[in-house]
Chain A
């Protein structure tokens, strides 16, 4: 059987989150303890990315509840205030402005890089702080850098280079790579970062990789057969599938008749997490490696991880939390640490405290770099395959890549430099 956000338990449990979100606040604390610290979650709570927004809301809610049950921060409870960005830039800016206007100066969340890039320039004028929990565009800590924005999750450059490091380690002879990518800026950024890592690590191993030009397709396409036919003619052995989420499910479903997954020796996906396996069950592409924001199974025995996982499963009955749960959870923990360190919630105080902050999270210690406000953290990957269980798929392997030289040097205000990718 598959566990998903469709069953009655989830409607009941996350329905509670959703109903509270509709009213705008969650986890409202007792006023007897003084004014609560209000944190604003901006997430896609409706529209095409609602499924991700629900994960973000779940992670944030669990973190707030855990902190409040432990006595709060500076003796004050935390109150979660939610706004829906619909994964649309205009709605995201409106949500951030609305929060700022309501006196909520500390915000976090945001899934879409487009939304984050639109919100970033508004923060300084509104005297707000935004901690990004998922959007991975490199630009946010480079040319679009603003001192009011931090990112506690990994970014495209680090994750895709780590992915290239992983596959080169496991498949050192698979050196001819191609990609299928939707026409989005983040896909181009992901692929460029993967190629940069592949070029560097393969050259260091003495076997330079050959990268074939990527195939581009329409974002949200309904048919991939032309692209699949072209991939079948390719002489590459490794396929980077940048088509994401539900579109990837459509593509792999259509590719089955062509034998695409058997043609390539290695299949990688930048970050669909459980989506493909959950949707495809027994038809899950065997051996598919997927990037994860956080994979709970990789940190068993780490208290924050175990407590978060237990709370999530208790609330939803879903044993497969997406990494987004862990990332909003981590952002709340970052704020709690920073507020504790700063001794207050004023914007300048919190910015100063977040810079160089080291804090523990569901995937271990993270350190926010002072220069570009990017967190240096573990990079998680999971390999899937079909099996005969009711669920239809299983995790065949998982890996943690430590960010030791994977991320670039901080250069806020200037575009990222791909040192190894040939133009």
Chain B
């Protein structure tokens, strides 16, 4: 029971929260700006490298507060990058067809990879979780690493916070109105260009924070940018193309199914992820949560 249900369920939930944390900034930017940001992984990677540099500077991650602090600093760095990207790339893309954003942001992804190689090189690096997160909780045969429990908690908290902001605050209502009709929002006095800048900064900040938070889970290399691309775009599409709630549910659905697949069909790892995605699109082509942006 534990080995064949609880363990893959737990591991699937962990991966789902990893994917969700990675995808939040991507979802937010696509939901409002309709820019499919292929470079999102690049800024996630830069966040991870900034966090790695900070961790190495102090020797090792020793406390949870330090771990979160380092991640926030990484987010601030990528958020600042977001200001430049919004001005130079995203703003001109507002005036052209959405398909141009694919080419422009893919080019940006290549630039981020080149920048990482120039600054940090091509070697592999690894960072362990803070000492207090290094162990595991044992429930019978079920092993739950503390780091995984923290990531699951952070994923759920992030979702709850975003939901609260979107549904219950003035900022959230403003975001929905701009996403729904930017022209009308502008007519009613919203400074839409500035709003877009804030939004891109927020999206890039989230990418950087995710890079820092997930640093102990992945190997650092210039290939990190594309590590989560398939899962992230899968969750984004199945979730309803730019809907935070949909992305959250889709990440759980796809990753839990994939986790069971890796246990029961080990000869074809990853296959169930694609089958689940295909079925979801066949039966819910509009996405799990349709009709509403973000």
Q: Given the known A-B contacts A225-B14, A226-B263, are A279 and B125 also in contact in the complex, defined by CB atoms under 8 Å?
A: yes
The answer to whether A256 touches B18, judged by C-beta atoms less than 8 angstroms apart, is no
Q: Is B269 a contact of A218 with CB atoms below 8 Å?
A: yes
A253 & B126 in contact (Cβ 8 Å cutoff): yes
Please name all residues of chain A whose beta carbon is closer than 8 Å to the beta carbon of B223 when the two chains form the complex: 48, 246
Contacts of A232 in B (CB 8 A): 143
Question: Does A374 count as interface, using CB distance less than 8 angstroms?
Answer: no
Asked if A315 is at the interface of the complex by the 8 Å CB criterion, the answer is no
Given A215-B266, A226-B7, A257 and B147 touching (CB < 8 A)?
yes
Cβ-defined contact, B124 with A223, below 8 A: no
Tell me the residues in window 16-70 of chain A with beta carbons closer than 8 Å to chain B beta carbons.
48, 50-51, 54
Cα–Cα distance between A197 and B270 once the two chains are bound (Å): 31
- Give the residue name and chain of the B residue nearest to A225 (CB): B11
Which residues in A have their C-beta under 8 angstroms from that of B134? 256-257
Per the bound structure, the CA–CA distance linking A2 and B120 in Å amounts to 13
Interface residue stretch chosen among A5-13, A121-129, A365-373: A5-13
A278 to B136, CA, bound (A): 25
Shortest CB distance A347–B (Å): 35
CB-contact partner of A221 in B7, B141, B222, B269, under 8 A: B269
Query: Are B123 and A257 in contact, with the CB atoms below 8 A?
Result: no
Chain A's closest residue to B135 (CB) is A257
Choice from B117, B122, B145, B270 contacting A258 with Cβ under 8 Å: B145
The verdict on A410 contacting chain B, using a C-beta distance below 8 Å, is no
Interchain CA distance A233-B3 in the complex, whole Å: 9
CB distance from A17 to the nearest CB of B (A): 13
Closest chain A residue, CB of each to CB of B261: A226
- Are B121 and A11 in touch, CB under 8 angstroms? yes
Do A246 and B128 have beta carbons less than 8 Å apart? no
Provide the residues of chain B in CB contact with A54, threshold 8 Å: 122
CA distance A292 to B11 in the complex (A): 34
The reply to whether B219 and A4 contact each other, CB–CB distance below 8 Å, is no
Whether A246 touches B267, Cβ cut-off 8 Å, given contacts A226-B11, A256-B134, is no
B107-140 CB contacts (< 8 Å) to partner A: 117-118, 120-126, 128-129, 134-136
Q: Which chain B residues (213-240) contact chain A, with CB distance < 8 Å?
A: 216-223, 227-228, 231
Q: Say yes or no: is A401 at the interface (Cβ < 8 Å to chain B).
A: no
Q: Is the beta-carbon distance between B7 and A278 smaller than 8 angstroms?
A: no
* B123→A226 contact, CB < 8 A: no
Q: Which residues of B contact A258 (CB under 8 A)?
A: 136, 143, 145
A279, B219: Cβ atoms closer than 8 Å:
yes
A99 beta carbon closer than 8 Å to chain B: no
Interface residues on B, range: 35 or more
Q: Is the CB of B18 within 8 A of A222?
A: yes
Decide: A279 and B124 in contact? CB cutoff 8 A: yes
Bound CA–CA A275/B120 (angstroms)? 16
Chain A residues, Cβ within 8 Å of B122: 5-6, 50-51, 54
B180 beta carbon closer than 8 Å to chain A: no
B219 close to A246 (CB less than 8 A): yes
Per the CB 8 Å criterion, the residue count for chain A at the interface is 44
Determine which of A5, A249, A281 lies in contact with B219 in the assembled complex, contact meaning CB atoms within 8 Å.
Answer: A249
Task: Please report which residues of chain B, range 1-51, place their CB below 8 angstroms from some CB of chain A when the two chains form the complex.
Answer: 3, 7-8, 11, 14-15, 18
The docked-state distance in angstroms from the alpha carbon of A247 to that of B147 is 19
A229–B123 touching, CB < 8 Å:
no
- Contact of B281 with A by CB under 8 A: no
B269 interface neighbour in A6, A183, A254, Cβ under 8 Å? A183
Asked whether, in the complex, the Cβ of A229 is within 8 Å of the Cβ of B128, the reply is no
Task: State how many angstroms separate the Cβ of B6 from the closest Cβ of chain A.
Answer: 10
* Bound-state Cα–Cα, A230 to B11, Å: 12
State whether the Cβ of A250 lies closer than 8 Å to any Cβ in chain B.
yes
- Residue in A183, A250, A257 whose CB lies within 8 Å of B136: A257
Of B135, B217, B262, which is within 8 A of A226 by CB? B262
**Known contacts A225-B148, A226-B7, A226-B263; is A253 also within 8 Å of B216 by CB?**
yes
Is the C-beta of B249 less than 8 angstroms from some C-beta in chain A? Answer: no
Given A51-B122, A283-B128, CB of A229 within 8 Å of CB of B135 = no
- Verify B143–A279 contact, CB threshold 8 A: no
Q: Tell me the residues in window 167-197 of chain B with beta carbons closer than 8 Å to chain A beta carbons.
A: none
In chain B between 254 and 294, which residues have their CB closer than 8 angstroms to a CB of chain A? 259, 262-263, 266-267, 269-270
The answer to whether B18 touches A223 (Cβ under 8 A) is: yes
Q: Which residues of A contact B145 (CB under 8 A)?
A: 225, 254, 257-258
Q: Please indicate the chain A residues that have their CB under 8 angstroms from the CB of B117 in the complex.
A: 50
| A218 cross-chain contacts in B, Cβ below 8 A | 262, 269-270
For residue A403, CB closer than 8 A to chain B, the reply is: no
Cβ contact within 8 Å between B262 and A6: no
Q: With A216-B267, A218-B270, A247-B219 in contact, is A226–B124 under 8 Å at CB?
A: no
B123 touches A5 (CB 8 A): yes
Instruction: Give the CA-CA distance A283 to B259 in the complex, in Å.
Output: 27
Q: Is A280 on the interface with B (CB-CB < 8 A)?
A: yes
Q: Which residue of A lies closest to B227 (CB)?
A: A222
Contacting pair B124 A245 (CB below 8 A): yes
Q: CB of A91 within 8 A of chain B? A: no
Q: Given the complex of chains A and B, what is the CA–CA distance between A99 and B134 in angstroms?
A: 51
Is B73 on the interface with A (CB-CB < 8 A)?
A: no
Separation of A2 and B126 alpha carbons in the complex (Å): 12
Q: How far apart are the CA atoms of A230 and B266 in the complex, in Å?
A: 11
Q: Give A275's nearest chain B residue, CB to CB.
A: B124
Nearest residue (CB) in A for B224 is A246
State A283–B222 Cα separation when bound (angstroms).
21
Check if B123 sits within 8 Å of A278, measured CB to CB.
Answer: yes
- Determine whether B154 belongs to the interface, using a CB cutoff of 8 Å to chain A: no
Extra 15 A-B pairs, beta carbons < 8 Å, given A48-B223, A222-B217: A4-B125, A216-B266, A217-B262, A217-B266, A218-B270, A226-B7, A226-B11, A233-B141, A250-B218, A253-B216, A256-B128, A257-B143, A258-B143, A275-B124, A278-B123
* Partner-A contacts on B (CB < 8 A): 3, 7-8, 11, 14-15, 18, 117-118, 120-126, 128-129, 134-136, 141, 143, 145-148, 216-223, 227-228, 231, 259, 262-263, 266-267, 269-270
24 contacts between A and B (CB under 8 A): A6-B121, A10-B121, A11-B118, A11-B121, A48-B223, A50-B222, A51-B122, A215-B266, A216-B266, A216-B269, A218-B262, A222-B231, A223-B14, A225-B15, A225-B145, A225-B148, A226-B7, A226-B259, A227-B262, A250-B218, A256-B128, A257-B147, A258-B145, A279-B124
Closest 5 CB pairs of A and B: A6-B121, A257-B145, A4-B123, A218-B269, A279-B124
